[in-house]
Amino acid sequence: MTLTAGARAGAIITVTGFGFGVGFGIVSLATPALLADCYGTTAYATVAGRFAAPVTTAKAAAPLAAATLVQHVGYHLLLAAVAIECLLAAAGKLAVRGTRIDQRGSQVV
């Protein structure tokens, strides 16, 4: 890492590669703990399964959707779309804050 960080392009590649690797690593380690903390351990498998499908689909479809948007509307609208999606995710998280899942996988308010 120290050898490639001497040049500008090497620094960008190093920081980007390291950042993505650390980000995905932290997410894979933190997800079980966060799910167990938010929803309890009794229905962990149900909750984890419900979260896995949409997350995996979004990770697979996002690059194609972004490339399509860039081709048709440009980077500014792509970044606006990403910002809107982040706001929607935050609003969704705030809307379900404080709810828990019981043993049968039913939502308890």
| Tens of pLDDT, residues 23-74 | 677 777 888 888 888 788 888 888 888 888 888 898 899 899 889 988 998 8
Q: Is the pLDDT of residue 22 over 90?
A: no
What is the spatial distance between Cα 10 and Cα 6, in angstroms, rounded to a whole number? Answer: 7
pLDDT of residue 2: 53
Which of 33, 59, 54, 55 is closest to 44 using CA atoms? 33
Residue 95 has pLDDT above 60, yes or no: yes
Cα–Cα dist 71/73, whole Å: 6
pLDDT at 87 over 90: yes
Burial (CB count <10 Å: 0-12, 13-18, 19+), residue 42 = middle
The predicted pLDDT at position 28 comes to: 77
Backbone angles phi, psi at 108, to 5 degrees: -115, 125
**pTM greater than the 0.75 cutoff:** no
The percent of residues above 90 in pLDDT, for the chain, comes to 8
